[in-house]
Structure 1
Amino acid sequence: MDLSKKLQSTDSLFADENLFPAENPTERELLTKYENTPAYIYKEATDASAAVAQEIASLIREKQSQNKKCVLGLATGSTPLGVYKELVKLHKEEGLSFENVVSFNLDEYFPMDPSSSHSYHHFMHKNLFDHVDVLPENIHIPAGNISLDQVHDFCLDYEEKIKSAGGIDLQLLGIGRTGHIGFNEPGARSNSHTRIIVLDTLTRRDASNSFNGIHNVPQRAITMGVGTIMSAKKVILMALGENKANIIKKAVEGNVTPLLPASFLQNHPNARFIIDSAAASDLIRVKTPWLVASCDWDDERLVRKAVVWLCQKTDKPILKLTDKDYNDNGLSDLIVIFGSAYSLNIKVFNDLQSTITGWPGGKPNADDSRRPERAEPAQKRVVVFSPHPDDDVISMGGTLIRLADQGHDVHVAYQVSGNVAVSDEYANRFISFHNSFSNYIDEGNEKQKAMYDKLVAHLKEKEDGDIDLPELRKLKSLIRRMEAKAACRYSGIRSKNVHFLDLPFYETGKAQKAPISEKDVRIVMDFLNEIKPHQIFAAGDLSDPHGTHRVCLDAILIALEQLKDEDWMQESWIWLYRGAWAEWDIDQIEMAVPISPQELLKKREAIFRHQSQKEGAMFMGNDDREFWQRAEDRNHATAELYNQLGMAEYEAIEAFVRYYP
């Protein structure tokens, strides 16, 4: 396969280091010429995790054959979870022993009791140590429960223990969105060692979901230093998901700077970045491959992507691009293929124009050859899957309203209860109201009073990290249901068409959910078989390897695979929307639904029906904007991008990509 073909091959672009055989290193050198440290891209997060686990296992076995200890530096957080899962599997199924392993963890919050569910002691034992035969005396994790005046001596002793063990053979790292490795925040020195540090606000925000709010996240931590990490014989930094794409680009392609501690790894003689396709999406070889090598331009999406990029670079609409613009920016191949800028511009303009439709369910009695959706049947059965009980109106509320207004039989299926996202304070308000109202109606009821006393006592005694009582979880689920029903009514969806699937994987009572099960898939299958939809809309957050949205999508995709031979499936089209934080890139969009100012206001009002997620919402992430603001800003930005490319000027646009089972 020549290089241009290889660059465009999904199987080779998203693969491990074997993509570039040792006998032909010039290919990798060419493709990675903008990268300052080795980065290997895997299509899926699971593939990346399995590869790293196999490398760790090989090192353990190699050291065992030499009768030596294997010293591992270990990380916490969501990124290495897949690695630890694979290592446990290798231990149980292939007999991989950890008896010769000595481990040193990167960091720990301070102060933090080891028994806390938020501690990294708890994390490591729960996800790895309790499931393998590692010796307790070989486990080393920074202590978050010592006094402040003991920290200095503890850190010196931690460094000495690493040296006494012979140094770290392999250090596993994640990367924070500040560019931190361990908890070495921007400004860390390259020769720093284990010490106590103050956490960056962004780092604390990113951890806030696990702590039920940023106010519960410790402000300090004990961490290995950059110098400690750099002394490891081998370093593997993992990054998964598109929220890491920007920082990965800077760490891999940017300059070495203390303002981005991960960039120091460019100076390590044996460091590698292992990333999935989403985390790699901003790298030059992925985002703009024509700047790296000649491309195979048979892919129409790649052509569109290149032209849109050129428009943004030159600040011109599509129809004003010239031959010189293409030649000056490394896209002369396109002019050779299409003959002139004029011919290419017209083609791409028409392709993008044809994605825009005011009829997301198809326009009846119209020529649909250049439309995203079919004209027939004129009234379709539509299923909108919403992972949480507000994702539907946040992500595609304008389209939902349009589908209902245009007479389609629209069903909304909420996949999880969303009870974890209801704050205790908000639930307490409803408990108090119900108690007061019950007393007003019938002067009290002993059973109701007992339940009221039980819930109030639980909320008063509940500590951070405690699981809600089943009764409280049921109440919080009911709050989310009532809000979802109100939003659907306002959007024109009939009450009988509102469905709550309550997938079991979600019902752990904690932020961390159970793996997807056959029962989850069966619930989705039974629902789809009941409705037999012509259209399915689902949240397409493909880059979220551990979150609820990704698990909910997996349940749908597995169900669709099981149902692929059903007659109704042959006529069913699947459209993917994005969540509140990001939108599809314009070269990916296959259906763009314009939203008028009036419809946008109606969408906002539908989002407002989810009041529990407006007042002190639990999982706002690192964005201070409320959900309705994020949605409107995103929809405005998509419309503005179409406008800049020379299309009609719309108030807002919601975008979709078609999924082919």
Structure 2
Amino acid sequence: MARLNLLEETRFEKVPVSVYPSQDEASIQVAQRIAAIILDKQAKGEKAVLGLATGATPVKVYKELVRLHKEEGLSFNNVVTFNLDEYYPMLPNAEQSYVAFMKKQLFDHVDIPQENINIPDGTLAPEDVQAFCIAYEQKISNFGGLDIQILGIGRTGHIGFNEPGSAPNSGTRLVTLDDLTRRDASRDFGGKENVPTKAITMGVGTIFKAKEIVLMAWNEKKAEIVKKAVEGEISSDIPATYLQMSENVEFVLDTDAASGLTRFNLPWLAHDVVWEDSLVRKAVVWLSLHLKKAILKLTDDDYNNYGMAQLITEQGPAYSINIRIFNELQRTITGWPGGKPNVDDSSRPERAEPARKNVILFSPHPDDDVISMGGTFIRLADQGHNVHVAYQTSGNTAVWDDDVLRYLEFVQDFAVAVDDDNGVTRNIYEEAREFFKVKKPNQVDPEIIRTIKGLIRKGEAIAGARFVGLPDENIHFQNLPFYDRGKFSKEIDFEDDIQQTMELLRQVKPHQIFAAGDFADPHGTHRVCFDIVLEAILRLRETDEWTKDCWLWLYRGAWHEYPIHEIEMAVPLSPQEVKRKRLAIFKHQSQKDLPVFPGDDPREFWVRAEDRTSETAGLYHELGLANYEAIEAFVRWKF
């Protein structure tokens, strides 16, 4: 299992950092480290005292520990555990409690004595919390302190629930949760309003007393905060930076979480590099934006002053490099996303032929198509391509309960108006009202309500696709089964989803496929939907000749865009096209104003979409290219 940290690359890093190719490999290493402590203590006849964390980050560590117990006989009989934190108030049997989490992930599967398990008590009366916290600290001390403390990191930089503002010597206490922390937890609770506002957490000072501290972070969503924690100045604004003061800490990352570190993101500043074409493009774009100078104005001194002297020596002078990169970026821009007919396409993003292409746009949710690439969608239809759209999931989770009642009330009133009331709708309506009265946070809706919510979003998607210019026969609702199955089980088979997608692709035989390329959250719907599309294409490539002439383009959603140096097709939009895109997004009325799952961005989806594409256009202009109203960006998938 390769570890990717090289000592000469770490001069920007203020804590030891180990980087692994995947979170699976990293998790196994951390689990083996914990197992070694347990075995060493067993050999000495002592207790192994573990500080444990919750959340998605340590799940695979616990899975490996369970495997070691069941397959290799690792006993937990001598183990004492102290969990970092717990929501307050919180019942131990609640689905969102950390007691339930730890039982499910670890304790129910190993031989740890129940009396050796310690988790902050979310059921305490307010007046009893302080005494409990003092006793929790004392109990840790009575066992001789923590042998190892496992940590994750929140996007506020919190460790445990030590939010910004926490003191480095803080002890176990009741804290108020940051709004971003609550937003991140909202999906588990069925909305931010259901997330507790407080928690009991070990303090930074408590964590510091551990003999070893291991902070783990996975995936691209954590890259920005990891960089601040590892390379930034120590600050109460980012409590994880306090770990820089410990001599016993190690950050364990996968490559995605480490991608923001200087040695990976801007490697020419950290060490000598091999100047491959893609790295030259990235470096020149960075230098131009960093200095706020157009690419064609960069000088040899600019390159030399920012770690690129070797590049100038090998490929310079600056003017030659500038011209080359400027031309590469210029060639990504096209007003013909389906290819421009009857032209030399050797330096264009898309092929000129066939002039009229079969195109299919896969939309994970019923509004991703117009939010993410609505202008390109409109352009493809306007330019006469045979455009299809496939809505992969119903999106029923993201519909407000009030909307269900509103639509049912309309159907009831309509039935009365045409004297065709058979009472079925009224019964559904009454059942829905009664269910919503007692519905618990994050409780799965009954099938009939999920169906109604799906129909609401289906109607909106049809309206949006028609507005773009698609005929009804080119609008496909896959309603892939995994989406609703996932509400009841995490063990899901995707074969029927793949087969359905293969059937649709065979029907359309596309020259172009557009799919969502949002991979920051590997467990998110967008990633699952992409994996299904990719597997379907790969299977078809083994048997179907048309696939050899099929290109796959990836787009991103309303939150983040591809960095400029990665963009391979940039489709500029006029002010009129931006307005048409906005009107297409407005067809999705259930997602307007405040969606059920807004994420950590308070802006409406149409505002996010317009800001994102205008920012992309602005960056192109800063680099010295034309000044467009907006740009939608795409990256081609290489098979």
Give the alignment's TM-score, normalised by structure 2.
0.95
Partner of 1:24: none
CA-to-aligned-CA distance 1:218-265 (integer Å, 9 cap, x gap): 111100011111111211112223332221111100122222211111
Partner of 1:484: 461
Q: Any conservation in 1 of the 2:411–2:425 contact (CA below 8 Å)?
A: no
Counterpart amino acid of residue 413 in structure 1? A
Task: Please say which of residues 504-513 and 494-503 is displaced more in the overlay.
Answer: 504-513
Partner of 2:368: 391
Partner of 1:189: 167
Q: Any conservation in 2 of the 1:420–1:510 contact (CA below 8 Å)?
A: no
Counterpart amino acid of residue 101 in structure 1? V
- Give the distance between the partners of 1:503 and 1:630, measured in 2 at CA: 27
User: Could you say what secondary structure the match of 2:188 adopts?
Assistant: coil
CA-to-aligned-CA distance 1:359-409 (integer Å, 9 cap, x gap): 111111111100111111222221211111111111111111111111222
Selected match of 1:369 from 320, 326, 346: 346
- Give the distance between the partners of 2:526 and 2:35, measured in 1 at CA: 31
Pair 1:541-2:541 in alignment = no
- Give the distance between the partners of 1:647 and 1:123, measured in 2 at CA: 52
CA-to-aligned-CA distance 1:49-99 (integer Å, 9 cap, x gap): 343334334444444455543322221222223333444444455554444
Task: Please say which of residues 69-78 and 610-619 is displaced more in the overlay.
Answer: 69-78
CA-to-aligned-CA distance 1:189-232 (integer Å, 9 cap, x gap): 21211110111222222222322332222111100011111111
Counterpart amino acid of residue 38 in structure 1? P
Shift in CA distance, 158/76, structure 1 to aligned 2, threshold 3 Å: same
Partner of 2:428: 451
- Give the distance between the partners of 1:160 and 1:258, measured in 2 at CA: 25
Partner of 2:49: 71
- Give the distance between the partners of 2:337 and 2:150, measured in 1 at CA: 46
Partner of 1:173: 151
Partner of 1:25: none
Structure 2 unaligned residues grouped into runs of 5+: none
Selected match of 2:396 from 415, 419, 437: 419
- Give the distance between the partners of 2:584 and 2:235, measured in 1 at CA: 46
Counterpart amino acid of residue 579 in structure 2? L
**Deviation for aligned residue 1:509:** 7.2
Selected match of 1:163 from 141, 160, 165: 141
- Give the distance between the partners of 2:35 and 2:510, measured in 1 at CA: 46
Summarize the alignment of residues 426-505 of structure 1 with structure 2, pairs less than 5 Å apart: 426-442=403-419, 444-505=421-482
- Give the distance between the partners of 2:508 and 2:402, measured in 1 at CA: 38
Partner of 1:551: 528
Q: Any conservation in 1 of the 2:85–2:199 contact (CA below 8 Å)?
A: yes
Summarize the alignment of residues 239-250 of structure 1 with structure 2, pairs less than 5 Å apart: 239-250=217-228
- Give the distance between the partners of 1:604 and 1:646, measured in 2 at CA: 28
Summarize the alignment of residues 325-340 of structure 1 with structure 2, pairs less than 5 Å apart: 325-340=302-317
CA-to-aligned-CA distance 1:607-650 (integer Å, 9 cap, x gap): 11111111431110111101111111010000011111111111
**Deviation for aligned residue 1:119:** 1.6
Selected match of 1:290 from 268, 273, 277: 268
**Deviation for aligned residue 1:503:** 2.5
- Give the distance between the partners of 1:496 and 1:40, measured in 2 at CA: 53
Selected match of 2:334 from 357, 370, 373: 357
**Deviation for aligned residue 1:319:** 0.8
Selected match of 2:596 from 609, 618, 642: 618
User: Could you say what secondary structure the match of 1:210 adopts?
Assistant: helix
- Give the distance between the partners of 2:419 and 2:70, measured in 1 at CA: 60
User: Could you say what secondary structure the match of 2:564 adopts?
Assistant: coil
Shift in CA distance, 462/192, structure 1 to aligned 2, threshold 3 Å: same
Pair 1:48-2:29 in alignment = no
Q: Any conservation in 1 of the 2:151–2:215 contact (CA below 8 Å)?
A: yes
User: Could you say what secondary structure the match of 2:187 adopts?
Assistant: coil
Counterpart amino acid of residue 113 in structure 1? L
Shift in CA distance, 450/154, structure 1 to aligned 2, threshold 3 Å: same
Summarize the alignment of residues 250-261 of structure 1 with structure 2, pairs less than 5 Å apart: 250-261=228-239
Q: Any conservation in 2 of the 1:420–1:509 contact (CA below 8 Å)?
A: no
Selected match of 1:642 from 598, 620, 628: 620
Task: Please say which of residues 651-660 and 255-264 is displaced more in the overlay.
Answer: 255-264
Shift in CA distance, 409/457, structure 1 to aligned 2, threshold 3 Å: same
Shift in CA distance, 415/71, structure 1 to aligned 2, threshold 3 Å: farther
Q: Any conservation in 2 of the 1:507–1:513 contact (CA below 8 Å)?
A: no
Shift in CA distance, 59/276, structure 1 to aligned 2, threshold 3 Å: same
Q: Any conservation in 2 of the 1:78–1:546 contact (CA below 8 Å)?
A: no
**Deviation for aligned residue 1:38:** 1.4
Partner of 1:280: 258
User: Could you say what secondary structure the match of 2:101 adopts?
Assistant: helix
Counterpart amino acid of residue 639 in structure 1? A
Alpha-carbon RMSD across the aligned residues, in angstroms, is 2.1
State the identity %. 56
- Give the distance between the partners of 1:250 and 1:536, measured in 2 at CA: 37
Q: Any conservation in 2 of the 1:321–1:341 contact (CA below 8 Å)?
A: yes
Pair 1:655-2:603 in alignment = no
Partner of 1:208: 186
Counterpart amino acid of residue 151 in structure 2? L
**Deviation for aligned residue 1:602:** 0.9
Shift in CA distance, 440/180, structure 1 to aligned 2, threshold 3 Å: same
- Give the distance between the partners of 2:140 and 2:369, measured in 1 at CA: 51
Q: Any conservation in 2 of the 1:307–1:348 contact (CA below 8 Å)?
A: yes
Counterpart amino acid of residue 609 in structure 2? A
Partner of 2:60: 82
**Deviation for aligned residue 1:288:** 0.9
User: Could you say what secondary structure the match of 1:412 adopts?
Assistant: strand
Give the alignment's TM-score, normalised by structure 1.
0.92
Shift in CA distance, 557/161, structure 1 to aligned 2, threshold 3 Å: farther
Q: Any conservation in 1 of the 2:332–2:567 contact (CA below 8 Å)?
A: yes
Counterpart amino acid of residue 373 in structure 1? E
User: Could you say what secondary structure the match of 1:273 adopts?
Assistant: strand
- Give the distance between the partners of 1:499 and 1:191, measured in 2 at CA: 58
Q: Any conservation in 2 of the 1:79–1:238 contact (CA below 8 Å)?
A: yes
- Give the distance between the partners of 1:292 and 1:530, measured in 2 at CA: 51
Counterpart amino acid of residue 224 in structure 1? M
Pair 1:300-2:277 in alignment = yes
Q: Any conservation in 2 of the 1:394–1:579 contact (CA below 8 Å)?
A: yes
Q: Any conservation in 2 of the 1:589–1:656 contact (CA below 8 Å)?
A: yes
Pair 1:122-2:100 in alignment = yes
User: Could you say what secondary structure the match of 2:339 adopts?
Assistant: coil
Pair 1:224-2:202 in alignment = yes
Q: How many residue pairs align between the two structures?
A: 638
- Give the distance between the partners of 2:330 and 2:485, measured in 1 at CA: 46
Q: Any conservation in 2 of the 1:508–1:514 contact (CA below 8 Å)?
A: no
- Give the distance between the partners of 1:462 and 1:395, measured in 2 at CA: 33
CA-to-aligned-CA distance 1:438-484 (integer Å, 9 cap, x gap): 22222521333222221121112212232211111111111111111
- Give the distance between the partners of 2:588 and 2:523, measured in 1 at CA: 25
- Give the distance between the partners of 1:530 and 1:70, measured in 2 at CA: 60
Counterpart amino acid of residue 247 in structure 1? I
Partner of 1:4: none
- Give the distance between the partners of 1:414 and 1:221, measured in 2 at CA: 39
Q: Any conservation in 2 of the 1:467–1:509 contact (CA below 8 Å)?
A: no
Counterpart amino acid of residue 552 in structure 2? I
- Give the distance between the partners of 1:471 and 1:129, measured in 2 at CA: 37
